[in-house]
Structure 1
């Protein structure tokens, strides 16, 4: 039996050069915390996206996400 796809995270921004590297910003729909994912070739990593004040960037979570 197939499991339901986990849709907790929402991709809000993506950029790259098409030659092996990509930067993507994801938002956790439950907490609103933003994450930065960077990959290059076969390597990659994800971290909390920080603002200029050094605190995590938090996006307000709409009520519509709670129904997902």
Structure 2
């Protein structure tokens, strides 16, 4: 999997939104003590996909 940082935030720790270059699925990484990476989901529970992002 090749990923790239799409956005960075600093709400309660370190948050970053990554995009998987192959599938175009967005993932969110949250680090507040320990970290975790999970797909970013829309209101219907489907993965958020960013097309033509670069």
Task: Please indicate, yes or no, whether the TM-score normalized by the shorter chain is above 0.5.
Answer: yes
Cα RMSD of the aligned pairs, angstroms, is: 2.2
Q: Which has the larger radius of gyration?
A: 1
Q: TM-score, normalised by structure 2?
A: 0.84
Q: Aligned pairs, how many? A: 54
Distance 1:45 1:38 in 2: 6
Unmatched runs of 5 consecutive residues or more in structure 2? none
Distance 2:37 2:4 in 1: 14
Runs of 4+ in structure 1 over 3 Å off: none
Q: TM-score, normalised by structure 1?
A: 0.68
1:49 aligned onto 2:40: yes
Name the one with the larger strand percent.
2
1:38 aligned onto 2:30: yes
- Tell me, yes or no, if the aligned pair for 1:13 and 1:26 is still in contact at 8 Å: yes
